[in-house]
Structure 1
């Protein structure tokens, strides 16, 4: 990179819920307790510090409160909403959507004293047929950006009608959909897809295609959980690559550090909003 070339921004994001709330294991995980998850968040803070990286933690407000959130804020990371209780939005009516948006934001702001700007729906589960209703509610509830749309369709989430590029809704709310990169055009930027793809290939895809963000869950970075009762395929999806995932992320950030600044999602959203205004001739 030349001295005059502008560094790229890459948001690092974590969907931060207790492992037992993951929808593939709902009703299977037997041992409730947040000790593993809290400890792993502290490990991730240390990893991010090594790379001078800032991240956004989309937090389920019923699961994490108090000291852990304060530690994240003190370390310079962003707290955003991942709802109160991590439900699939496909199963909820408008009133329930509003409740999850409003009560989670209020709880997180009360716990940290810092405004919450962003939202991410659990499991990318916004139904496309209601996506404008969803975005309008976010605006009504005072959110500045969202990252809930997914064009890659599975049994849990996604709709091919969604866009993959970020956009500004009603000149106010920035939507940052799940990126699809590489070959095949899958969301290799996080979750199982990240864990299954060789790190050297991920680095090449990310360097070439400049996705807006990476996404993870703290539970993807510790051991092999008790997941008896899952189907063979669901067990593979939830367990594969977790043991070495922290080292893989560490190496990836080291490899990308000469090209990227690792930032919060709000930083990316703010830049996208400025760019959109400039393109339409508005004052930033």
Structure 2
């Protein structure tokens, strides 16, 4: 299974994009890497360009320890809120910062908030291809409050640009699709529930999280620095953080986790990629969305 981390600073990426990136993202990401290191597990870190800009040493540790550095955009601005020019500039800026800091080619991308929409596919694919991106992981194939999609999408344009699409995994419960395999759903649910519900998931499944989910003290910091936190975020963003480190340790012991690059894009596997990559075709995605 693929272990992915969306590296961003909560107060800047969620509360207010005009806030500065703080050292909390540095410390929390180091904590996640420490957990991975203890279990000799590699991950893909979809990292914001503004984090790499402020803390290049963090990117250096990722590459030194064998993790994959991928792009999450520059400042966590939603893809659908940008013009084609702004989209290209944002992705290009992030890729350059990450490559300069880590010294390795960036081949993966994930849109902030999974904010890609079908009408943007052509411009989006062109921006990715211009930057040498080989795969994308921006599609969240279920509708939740903040994001997601439930309609049929034609992904043939991704194939035209030779870009693989690795969608986010979900768990089925009756007729419902639940995104238990990552994010706040993983944080808020008892681990045994996640373990039970995720049994049917294939080896190509994608787990995702954010470093701030291991930062149990961030709420007090945010209150002190920025004042009262909106009630809608108290539960969805902060409850359960204290237990996440232990859950992560159990997760990577229970599942064989690795990065996108190690699984599909390592040089030694270059000739096998087309047959082994779990790429979601247009037809496949239509069938999945209709479930």
Provide the TM-score with structure 2 as the length reference: 0.80
Q: CA deviation at 1:126?
A: 0.9
Pair 1:206–1:48, CA change in 2 (3 A):
same
Q: Is the 8 A contact 2:59 2:101 kept in 1?
A: yes
Mapped partners of 2:142, 2:273: distance in 1: 22
Q: Is the 8 A contact 1:145 1:266 kept in 2?
A: no
Mapped partners of 2:229, 2:139: distance in 1: 27
2:129 to 139, 150, 158: 139
Mapped partners of 1:249, 1:263: distance in 2: 13
Q: CA deviation at 1:48?
A: 0.6
- Number of matched residues? 259
Match of 2:251 in 1: 252
Mapped partners of 1:220, 1:230: distance in 2: 16
Asked if 1:187 is matched to 2:189, the reply is: no
Mapped partners of 1:103, 1:121: distance in 2: 14
Match of 2:274 in 1: 273
Q: Is the 8 A contact 2:80 2:120 kept in 1?
A: no
Mapped partners of 1:268, 1:17: distance in 2: 24
Structure 1: which 5+ runs fail to align?
1-9, 278-284
Mapped partners of 2:273, 2:22: distance in 1: 35
2:209 to 212, 216, 223: 216
2:39 to 51, 54, 63: 51
Q: Is the 8 A contact 1:213 1:265 kept in 2?
A: no
Q: Which moved more, 1:191-200 or 1:117-126?
A: 191-200
Mapped partners of 1:105, 1:200: distance in 2: 38
Mapped partners of 1:127, 1:179: distance in 2: 18
Q: CA deviation at 1:193?
A: 1.0
Structure 2 counterpart SS, 1:182:
strand
Asked if 1:201 is matched to 2:189, the reply is: no
Deviations 1:22-53 (A, max 9, x none): 33x227x97x5532221222221121112221
Q: CA deviation at 1:89?
A: 1.2
Q: CA deviation at 1:229?
A: 4.0
Deviations 1:201-255 (A, max 9, x none): 2123333212521111111111141355444333210112111111111112222
Mapped partners of 1:33, 1:94: distance in 2: 26
2:259 to 255, 259, 264: 264
Calculate the aligned-residue CA RMSD, in Å. 2.5
Q: Is the 8 A contact 1:145 1:269 kept in 2?
A: no
Asked if 1:62 is matched to 2:62, the reply is: no
Match of 1:281 in 2: none
Pair 1:132–1:153, CA change in 2 (3 A):
farther
Q: Which moved more, 1:36-45 or 1:153-162?
A: 153-162
Q: Is the 8 A contact 2:2 2:206 kept in 1?
A: yes
Q: Which has the higher helix share?
A: 2
Deviations 1:136-192 (A, max 9, x none): 3212321001100112224532221266x9x96227211111111132411111111
Match of 2:6 in 1: 15
